[in-house]
Structure 1
Amino acid sequence: MRRFTQGLYGYAVALFVCLAGAGLFLLVTPQSREEHIPRLEYSITVANFGHSVPFGVWAPRQDPAGWVPNSNRIAKGENGAQVLYLGYATAEREHVMFAQSNEQPAAGFASRMSNTDKTQGTQQVGGAAWEQRFREDKNQRSLVRVLPDVTLVITGTADWAELGALAAQLQQRPKG
């Protein structure tokens, strides 16, 4: 009995027993090889935002195909303004955030959300012109649309086409 608890032989047996136990544990533990992105419903957050602001809220008619809404929140912006954030994982597994606010000045909100104040062009989506902004060091693209009562920003690591796909789904819901 003493030879199993001492020396190199005892050490090798103990190591084998530990590795066999770990291997057995890994064998019986269920493992998923599929990516799981939690889906987070945002309709209640959009409705609550609509009750707290003096303008018609913009929201997607439906989510673009393959996109997963994975975050949403309402926050206070500068000067007491309200901000709605909706976050997505796109079909290409990039990140996109849609933000809207009645913050003034609108240029400050747009620059803060897009991390740049430099416009590099425009993109037509459904007959509306959106400013394109790009911050190279963060690989961040943004579409900005400033309206009289609200500023809309779609931003993230997705390409221009994916950002435009979300912009095409946006519609203003009546105040109420």
Structure 2
Amino acid sequence: MLFNPRAHFKNGAILAAIAAGVALPVLAETANFGTLTLSRGFGSPTAVLRGSTGGSYSLSAIANADRHKNKCLGFATPTPDHIIVLQQDFSKLTIQVNSGGKDTTLLIQGPNGNTVRCGDDTGQNKDAGIVDTGWGAGSYRIWVGSLEPGVKSNYTVSVQELD
């Protein structure tokens, strides 16, 4: 009996394409507001991303605490808001949310999901921020959340390389 790929896979499309030697596209992870690729000395002192909060997915479902034992707070969507791809290692970065003073939170999941960084209020400012060292090359998934579920706020995220 001959193997019939259509009998084992919905429409047999994937296996039939492989058997025929057809290249399949790689499924890229998407973000709510896009992807930014950075290399050292990324032009201006700061790169900026834009988006809005409004989800009701608890960020503690991704991680309760980060690598420095900071609590991961807030609510966002299950899909990351942004993806930042670092083409090289960075020794120190600052990632700061500006929502005009709304109470935002920040969760960053590093390459392969191995490293988590979380941020909440920065000083007297209710906007979240993270300053940290040891940013390895790779893709970082970023969620900007609000302290309460469903709260809509427009924001910018600035990324700055520090020496």
Normalization by structure 1: what TM-score? 0.28
Larger Cα-atom Rg: 1
Structure richer in strand, relative to its length: 2
Higher relative contact order (CA 8 A, sep 6+): 2
Normalization by structure 2: what TM-score? 0.30
